[in-house]
Structure 1
Amino acid sequence: MTESRDTCGRAHALTVISPVRAPWALFLEPVFALAQAVPALSRTARNLSFIHFAQWSLIRRIPVNGPPQHPEDLRYTHLLFASNFNGSWNQYIDAFSRILTLGMKVFWGSSYGFPGPIPTEPFKKYIRRNEFVPDHYYSAYPAATVTMIDSALSVEKEFRTLREIAADPDTTPEAFAASYRRFLTAVQRDL
């Protein structure tokens, strides 16, 4: 079975571009700046362990790629949402609409045709209409989820400490045994 172009192992890409109603573009810039300056405002999204990455941006013009292309200003500012995640597309959109309901209203409420995040079926149709499937998508760790990678990094950090204790010629077998038990206790959730 061949994976779709927006999938690499367990990871999936999502890119959505929607036109923004004129007055809302001015409102979104300070909202993005505030969300970046005050991490607590995006804590819920950051705590969703299946999300690798999520970014909102405003597009006002198409950059020039060289001749014969000419600069092009867009008629409307567009909202670009780019994300990578684990799990199915339906699970991801369901989580966004049910857990981040207010955020979806604030960000996509600015766009033409946005039906609201709840109920989820009209929201999913809206996302599908505005979604762009990439020509290519790559994940450095296609067999791993974000949770698996975080766990591996936690184990590796604790293991470095245990390795230093083991390498110390003054460490007694009893001291190493105690350190090993502490290591196992510290990483048991991540194994």
Structure 2
Amino acid sequence: MASQPRRAALRPDVVGRVGMITVLTALMPLDALRLRVLFALTRRFPQLGGLGPLKSVYFTRWSVLTSLPYNGPPQVPERLGHGRLLWETVYSAPTEPYVEAFVHGVGSKVRRIWRRSYGFPGTGSVTALAGYIGELAIPGAHNWAAYPTATVRTVLAALDVAREHRYLVQAARTASPEEFAVLYRGFLDRRKGDL
């Protein structure tokens, strides 16, 4: 009985609490065209795409490559036989839970994009997908994080607190001390998990 080839472990580039994964996959014939149409549609109709349910993503992008940039001599202009799909993501979470959330939160979108990449195992097994990503991952050339010790959730919570705090400052100018005390206690109750 032949054993399955062992997939590489998923090892992202990490800066503080921020992880970065870059993956390049080979596409089946004509799939570069299909993905370009899909990506054009999601730019026109953003509700078709998006990672709304994932609050740990700073940035993610899929790009279709059909040729390599030509930088002049001595480089030879080169076209890739089949298209390639480049996936770049920057996130704040441990890697395995991020891949799991990615599969469970937006698995249908992941399947729609990656399904015709050679070797794509699907999204039925988080372990298989993490192995596929680990096997094809490319070391990041650059990763910069404005807040490397903060997570996306921390930043979003801080923005929510700041927004509501501005309202409190305005209310303090017009409310009586008793009214403001009620508003302030309500603020603390709503935001206790964010403070």
Tell me the C-alpha RMSD between the 2 structures.
2.4
Deviation of residue 78 (structure 1)?
A: 0.7
TM-score when scaled to structure 1? 0.83
Higher mean C-alpha displacement, 33-42 vs 57-66: 33-42
Q: Does 1:128 align with 2:134?
A: yes
3-state DSSP of counterpart to 2:42:
helix
Aligned to 2:99: 93
Aligned to 1:155: 161
Q: Does 1:176 align with 2:180?
A: yes
3-state DSSP of counterpart to 2:116:
coil
Q: Does 1:55 align with 2:61?
A: yes
Deviation of residue 182 (structure 1)?
A: 4.0
**Inter-partner Cα distance in structure 1 for 2:105 and 2:181:** 44
Q: Does 1:41 align with 2:52?
A: no
8 A Cα contact 1:25 1:110, kept in partner: no
**Inter-partner Cα distance in structure 1 for 2:171 and 2:110:** 49
**Inter-partner Cα distance in structure 2 for 1:171 and 1:95:** 44
Runs of 4+ in 1 over 6 A off after TM superposition: none
Aligned to 1:190: 194
Deviation of residue 185 (structure 1)?
A: 4.1
Greater fraction of residues in helix: 1
Deviation of residue 189 (structure 1)?
A: 4.3
Deviation of residue 60 (structure 1)?
A: 1.4
Structure 2 unaligned spans of 5+: 1-10
Q: Deviations over 1:122-160 (max 9, x none)?
A: 322221221111144221111111111000000011112
8 A Cα contact 1:5 1:136, kept in partner: no
8 A Cα contact 1:50 1:86, kept in partner: yes
TM-score when scaled to structure 2? 0.81
- After superposition, the Cα gap between the structure-2 partners of 1:110 and 1:52, relative to the gap in structure 1 and judged at 3 Å, is same
Matched residue count: 185
Aligned to 1:114: 120
Q: Does 1:75 align with 2:85?
A: no
Q: Deviations over 1:45-69 (max 9, x none)?
A: 3211112211111011222335443
3-state DSSP of counterpart to 1:54:
strand
